[in-house]
Chains A and B, each alone.
Chain A
Amino acid sequence: MEEAIKTAIPSSADGMSRIDGRAKVTGKAKYAAEYRPDGLAYGVLAGSTIAKGTVTAIDIARAEKAPGVLAVVTHFNSPKVPGHQKPKKPTKKAGPILVFNDNVIHYNGQPIAMVIADTYERALYAASLVKATYNKQAHDTKPPSDISMGIAPWGKDSVRGEADAWKNAPFKLEQEYVIPTEVHNPMELHAIIAKWDGADKLTVWDKTQGTQATRDDIAKAFNIPAANVQVIAKFVGGAFGSALQVWPHEIAAILGAKLVRRPVKLVLHRQDMFTSVGHRPYTWQKVGIGATADGKLVGITHEAVGQTSTYEDFAEGPINVSKGLYACPNVTTRYKLLSLNIGTPTWMRGPGEATGAFALESALDELSYQVKIDPVQLRLINYAKVDPENGKPYSSKYLDEAYKMGADQIGWENRRQEAGAVKKDGWLVGYGMGGGMFGAYRDSATVKAVMRADGTLLLQTAVTDIGPGTGTAMVLIAADIMGLPADKIKFEMGDSSLPNAPMQGGSATTATVGGAVYDACTELKQKFQKLIGNGGTDNPDYAKILSDKNLAGLDVTTQSSLGADAQNKYSMQAWSVHFTRVLVHPATGVVKIDKVVSVADSGKVISQKTARSQLIGGAIGGIGMALMEDAIIDHRYGRYVNNNFADYHVPVNADIPQMEALFVNKPDSHINAMGAKGMAEISLIGMAAAVANAVFNATGKRVRDLPITPDKLI
């Protein structure tokens, strides 16, 4: 390997602290369920106890008589949601759950009733008194296990070059890989407070990744003008994709508030988080891969069948990674969906790619042992210099540097290309790596920038921050352009009434909203330069200029997006590579993550401290995916049996070592003026394979069905 690139490893203390950090450490940050409109009532949902069938009756008499109960809503007595009554386009499936609209049960735990009472305790108790009777039908919750199952959402196979060409390669393998159902499980429970301010006017405090998308969906459902709906999400306690759409409980709370003429707060219980706000779908995959003796890929065939619900199709792209990660002339992909009696899956951090990268990056590792080529070297041999799908140049790509940085930092030279070769203090030691990619997207956003008389800058846009530190990054961008200290800049967000911004999703926020902040600040500064005249100055004294010109303030509102030219010309992607060292106990099968080095090639880093946290946070999500996360259904009842944090394991502090985050930190000059690409998805994508590959390197046991629990290693 060439000489490694030396880069300082950022520590947790480096960089500017979060602008909203003080609110978060003092408990002053207010999340969706933490507002107190006058007359607040509490809603609690009751869910179905069967997975398929119809509700024949619901006994609400006892619940209605319970103290403090204001209303018990079911499909028998619910006022209709106007938007739910419109005739739908004829499709094979029923479409999203229209809460309290009909008697059909699609999955176990589907909301069938809501009790509203004057206190939470009273609502909770009364909800336990609601009893439903059903006409039960045979359900199916058994996940996919073969490509023959399900239907292809996009029609026929995708073939680049020759179909199934891997079969003709001198070195080849074909294996099946399984990702179980993973649940986002953000720490904040999904919650909403709905308050009607008039017959057609509504305020909601909601856990959402997009205030305006939520506003529009609610307005449509209740057939009221979008301008009359205000959605507030000042702080969002994580989401990872679970808050990208309006779910039935949100509609239920709004409906309930209308019915009882009081604001209604509805907070899901942890068990509802498994059924009612999406999940990463259980996905069966098969990868066939072949190479020449010198490691050149001949072909990849990647098949995947993901689960979806019986009433909606949720499709993602687990097979995409095989089309784009390596320069391989022949790639065949097949993707299908299997309909089951479960709630509809949704996007979860690294949607599709995280699932696909586990399979592809595991398969590549398996191939490396066959051809006896170091896994990093094997990737460099097949390095894609242009997008293999369309031949377009990349807007920027330094993944090869990322490989070298990571390998150097983990001590890759200590790895042996032979499983079970390294031991330390009675533990087996293994090294593994896995990488990933995700589209670097930039949407359109509008930012209002206001310079106020006191020389402080106010930036406004409707975007939310589910945790990455959006406000902090935006302030740093503005500070750089305006020549202001960060503490003179306020970033106002999380309110649908602010200027347009898209949902926080798809790793696009920094590129999108950051691009708009950049443009708005640039424009505002130019306005000041004009006021100054004579070409302006480098560091204007904004307060003095406003005072001299007798102005109360100066503002611009700027809309910004990626030009079509750049989009057509370049393939825009962000890349990551994760390196792990694991210790496996030979007798107990316990896996200890000993060292992790994650490297992101995501353009220029805007905010060092929060970027580092995001990268290690995503990698920790990948450790959960690799070693513990698995939402298990008892197929006799079609019901999750581990729907809580004691039984659905996620990483805790004791599972995680010091994590090292490295950044290539080279700007992408095409995506936006800052050169920044998104990082949220790539932080996780590839990590599960990095762990699985290290476990194989330590033990010689290849686990292809996640999670890698000790029983699979002994």
Chain B
Amino acid sequence: MENEKFGMDARQQTDLKDPSRRSFIKQSSLLTAVALTPATALKAAEDHLDEQIAGVLEKLPLRMEVNGEMHNLSVEPRATLLDILREEMDLTGTKKGCDHGQCGACTVHVDGQRVNSCLTLGIMVNGKKVTTIEGLAKGDVLHPMQEAFLKHDGFQCGYCTPGQIMSAVACINEGHANSEGEIREYMSGNICRCGAYPNIVNAIMDVKNGGMEA
């Protein structure tokens, strides 16, 4: 069974579908399994410790390298990479714009490829390298694409900008920045509601013509 590799047995799988699972855990042997006396168990339930236990059971290990640093996390399988970055790791440079892979604000690099982190479950990047906007500059020295966005004003409100920049870097690395038309096509997964598109194209052309260090 597919779930076995995540260490779940059939009963737990059934439990996940059962909305009354929390009550079930309260009454189940799981609490005694962690060697609590019944009185303590009752107290535990009152203190919402049952939820902490539920939380542990619902989580899976995630080991990923983010911006050059290895992280060992414990995440729910349903948690998206986007929410893990923003809510667990406080890497809020990666933005949530739609949660449906339709706007590109959440674009990050996974092993060098641009992906929508809102369409990527955290556990899918186990063992992989993730780069976010926070990892693009080398200390105080901006990445050439960041410099170019500044110079050409490739944004107004700035909310789509991290996604645009991550996408723009990948666009060049993929070899999809050979003309303005090609850039427009390959940057169309990143929506900018303020309408900075021509400036974004100019920034990418500028970096491309300057010979970007990948």
> What residues make up the interface of A, taking CB atoms closer than 8 Å to B?
11-13, 17-18, 20-31, 33-34, 36, 62, 65-68, 118-121, 125, 129, 185-189, 235-238, 240, 267, 269-270, 466-469, 609-610, 612-614, 616-621, 644-646, 650-659
- A517 smallest CB distance to B (angstroms): 20
- B160 CB contacts on chain A under 8 angstroms: 187, 237
Bound-state Cα–Cα, A25 to B19, Å = 43
Contact B152 A619 (CB under 8 A): no
Partner of B19, one of A62, A235, A468, A651: A62
- Docked pose: A317 CA to B152 CA in angstroms: 36
Q: Contacts of B102 on A, CB cut-off 8 Å?
A: 270, 644-646
- Whether, in the assembled complex, B117 has its beta carbon less than 8 Å from a beta carbon of chain A, the answer is no
Complex Cα distance, B194 from A617, in Å, reads 5
Indicate which residue in B100, B146, B154, B197 contacts A270 across the interface (CB closer than 8 Å). Answer: B100
Chain B residues 122 to 138 lying within 8 A of chain A, measured CB to CB, are 132-134, 136-137
Residues of A close to B92: CB separation below 8 A: 27, 30-31, 33-34
Bound-complex Cα distance A479 to B178 (A): 40
Of A62, A613, A644, the residue contacting B196 (CB under 8 A) is A613
User: Does A187 contact B105, Cβ atoms closer than 8 Å?
Assistant: yes
Min CB gap B100→A, angstroms = 6
Q: When chains A and B are docked, how far (Å) is the Cα of A20 from the Cα of B161?
A: 13
**In the complex, which residues of chain B have a beta carbon less than 8 angstroms from the beta carbon of A618?**
195
A651 — which chain B residues lie within 8 A by C-beta? Answer: 195, 197
Quick one: given A65-B22, A469-B156, A613-B153, are A27 and B162 in contact (CB under 8 Å)? Answer: yes
B150 CB–A CB distance under 8 Å: yes
Given A13-B202, A119-B87, A645-B102, A188-B159 contact (CB < 8 Å): yes
Tell me which of B132, B158, B198 contacts A29 (CB under 8 A). Answer: B158
Contact between A186 and B150, CB atoms less than 8 A apart:
no
Bound-complex Cα distance A235 to B183 (A): 28
Asked if B146 and A25 make an inter-chain contact with CB atoms under 8 angstroms apart, the answer reads: yes
- Are B158 and A235 in contact (CB-based, < 8 A)? yes
Give me 10 other A-B pairs in contact (C-beta within 8 A), A27-B133, A652-B188 excluded: A12-B151, A26-B134, A119-B76, A186-B157, A186-B159, A187-B95, A609-B153, A619-B195, A646-B100, A653-B188
Q: Whose C-beta in chain A lies nearest to the C-beta of B185?
A: A654
Asked if B115 is at the interface of the complex by the 8 Å CB criterion, the answer is no
* Contact A12 to B100, CB < 8 A, known contacts A21-B150, A653-B183: no
Contact (A270, B190) CB under 8 Å given A21-B150, A65-B23, A187-B103: no
Q: Which of B6-14, B29-37, B78-86 contacts A (4 or more CB under 8 A)?
A: B78-86
B residues sitting closer than 8 Å to A (CB atoms) are: 19-23, 51, 54-55, 58, 76, 78-79, 83, 86-87, 90-100, 102-103, 105, 132-134, 136-137, 142, 146, 149-162, 165, 180, 183-185, 187-203, 206
- Taking CB atoms, residues of chain A closer than 8 Å to B58 are 67
The residue that B193 contacts in the complex, of A18, A185, A656, with Cβ under 8 A, is A185
Report whether B191 and A187 are in contact in the complex, using a CB–CB cutoff of 8 Å: yes
Residues in B neighbouring A654, C-beta threshold 8 A: 184-185, 188
| Chain A residue with Cβ nearest B136 | A26
Taking a contact as CB atoms under 8 Å apart, the answer to whether A653 and B161 are in contact is no
List chain A residues, Cβ under 8 A from B94: 27
Report the minimum CB–CB distance from A698 to chain B (whole Å). 21
14 contacts between A and B (CB under 8 A): A11-B202, A12-B152, A12-B198, A17-B150, A65-B19, A68-B51, A187-B95, A237-B160, A238-B156, A617-B195, A645-B97, A645-B100, A653-B200, A654-B184
- Given A22-B150, A187-B95, A269-B99; A653-B195 close (CB under 8 Å): no
Partner of B157, one of A13, A30, A121, A187: A187
Which residues from chain B contact A31 at a C-beta distance below 8 Å? Answer: 92, 95, 159
With A25-B150, A27-B92 in contact, is A613–B87 under 8 Å at CB? no
What chain A residues lie within 8 Å of B97 (beta carbons)?
A: 187-189, 270, 645
Complex CA gap A34/B90 in Å reads 8
In-complex Cβ contact of B161 among A25, A236, A619, A620 (8 A): A25
B146 touches A658 (CB 8 A): no
CB-contact partner of B194 in A30, A33, A67, A467, under 8 A: A467
Residues of B within 8 A of A17 (CB): 150-151, 153
Measured CB to CB, the closest approach of chain B to A127, in angstroms, equals 13
Closest to B53 in A: A67
Pairwise interchain contact A237-B99, C-beta atoms closer than 8 A: no
B93/A26 in contact, CB under 8 A: yes
A187: which B residues are within 8 A, CB to CB?
95, 97, 103, 105, 157, 159-160, 191-194
List the A side residues contacting B79 at CB < 8 Å: 121
Known: A66-B19, A67-B55, A651-B195. A28 touches B157 (CB 8 A): no
Q: Specify the chain A residue showing the minimal Cβ separation from B189.
A: A652
Is B103 a contact partner of A645 (Cβ separation < 8 A)? yes
Residues on B with beta carbons closer than 8 Å to the beta carbon of A609? 153
Known: A18-B150, A187-B97. A614 touches B188 (CB 8 A): no
Determine if B153 and A121 form an interchain contact, defined as CB atoms under 8 angstroms apart. Answer: no
Quick one: which of A26, A68, A617, A658 contacts B156, CB cutoff 8 A? A617
Q: Given the complex, which residues of B lie within 8 Å of A21, measured CB to CB? A: 149-150, 153, 155, 158
Q: Which residues of B contact A645 (CB under 8 A)?
A: 97-98, 100, 102-103, 191
Partner of A237, one of B51, B157, B202: B157
Q: What are the residues of chain B within 8 A of A185 when measuring CB–CB?
A: 193
Min distance, Cβ B165 to any Cβ of chain A, angstroms: 6
A613–B149 Cα distance when bound, in Å, is: 12
CB distance from B210 to the nearest CB of A (A): 13
Q: Min CB distance, A701 to chain B, in Å? A: 26
Are B134 and A67 in touch, CB under 8 angstroms?
no
**Contact yes or no, A25 B142, CB < 8 A:** yes
- Give every chain A residue within 8 A of B87 (Cβ-Cβ): 119-120
User: Please, how many angstroms separate the alpha-carbon atoms of A24 and B105 in the complex?
Assistant: 13
User: Which 5 A-B residue pairs are closest in the complex by CB-CB distance?
Assistant: A27-B93, A237-B159, A620-B195, A24-B158, A467-B157
Q: Decide if A267 touches B183 in the complex (CB within 8 Å).
A: no
In the complex, what residues of A have CB within 8 A of residue B76's CB? 119, 121
CA distance A11 to B193 in the complex (A): 20
Smallest Cβ-Cβ distance to A658: which chain B residue: B198
CB-CB under 8 A from B23, the residues of chain A are 65
Residues of A within 8 A of B201 (CB): 653, 658
B83 touches A12 (CB 8 A): no
Q: In the docked arrangement, what's the CA distance between A650 and B105, Å?
A: 15
Q: Are A12 and B202 in contact (CB under 8 A)?
A: yes
Shortest beta-carbon distance, A54 to chain B, in Å?
Answer: 26
Are A25 and B165 in contact, CB atoms less than 8 angstroms apart?
yes
Closest-by-CB residue of A relative to B167 is A653
For A270, give the chain B residue with the smallest CB separation: B98
Q: Which residue of chain A lies nearest to B20 when distances are taken between CB atoms in the complex? A: A65
Q: Tell whether A644 pairs with B184 under 8 Å between CB atoms, given A68-B55, A187-B191, A613-B196.
A: no
Q: Are A121 and B83 in contact, with the CB atoms below 8 A? A: yes
Nearest chain A residue, comparing its CB with the CB of B98: A270
Contact residues in B for A11 (Cβ distance below 8 Å): 202
Per a CB cutoff under 8 Å, which of A13, A28, A646 touches B152? A13
